[in-house]
Amino acid sequence: EGQLKPGQQVILDLAEEPRTIVSDPKLLRHVLTNLISNAAKYSPAGTEITISSGLSGDHFFIRVTDQGIGIPPEDRQHLFDRFFRARNVENVQGTGLGLNIVRHYVKLLGGTIDFVSEMGRGSSFTIGLPLKTTEE
């Protein structure tokens, strides 16, 4: 909450299944904290950040969607590179390490990360992780 701008709201749209997942809680927490922090940082006050989840075959996904500035098309291929910052974020503090670390952690969890973005309308980052439940 300390990173949200005035009027920003986090909306949870979580699927009922799976009810429980097995993963490294520290790594997953770091990934989600970074993605939610970025969503707040690059979105204007008074906007929504949506966190959704669900199943896709033998994977589950968690998606963080914002209504922010978007990522320029020419910068998208470098977004997960170390120290890379998109050209439209010059007035926003950051090191360019967050998404690189997120990608590394997601790989350690055996998953994937992808995103879609539209300039001036926002971005959506989706983490896909192998489905392991407590029943296994």
Distance of CA 77 to the CA centre of its chain: 16
Does the structure show a pLDDT above 60 at 56? Answer: yes
In the three-class reduction of DSSP (H, G, I as helix; E, B as strand; rest coil), residue 115 is classed as: strand
Structure tokens at 111: 């998953």
Instruction: Please name the amino acid found at residue 13.
Output: D
- Of 53, 70, 71, 22, which is closest to residue 127 (Cα–Cα)? 53
Does the structure show a pLDDT above 80 at 94? Answer: no
Tell me phi and psi for residue 17, to 5 degrees.
-120, 140
Does the structure show a pLDDT above 70 at 136? Answer: no
Tell me if 98 sits within 8 A of 109, measured CB to CB. Answer: no
* Per-residue pLDDT tens over the stretch 66-83: 999 999 999 999 889 887
CA atoms within 13 A on the CB side of 6: 0
Task: State the average pLDDT for the chain.
Answer: 89
Dihedral of the CA atoms 4, 8, 10, 13 (nearest 10)? -160
Of 19 and 126, more confident: 126
Per-residue model confidence (pLDDT) at position 55: 92
Of 131 and 9, more confident: 9
Per-residue model confidence (pLDDT) at position 134: 56
Of 1 and 10, more confident: 10
Tell me if 126 sits within 8 A of 55, measured CB to CB. Answer: no
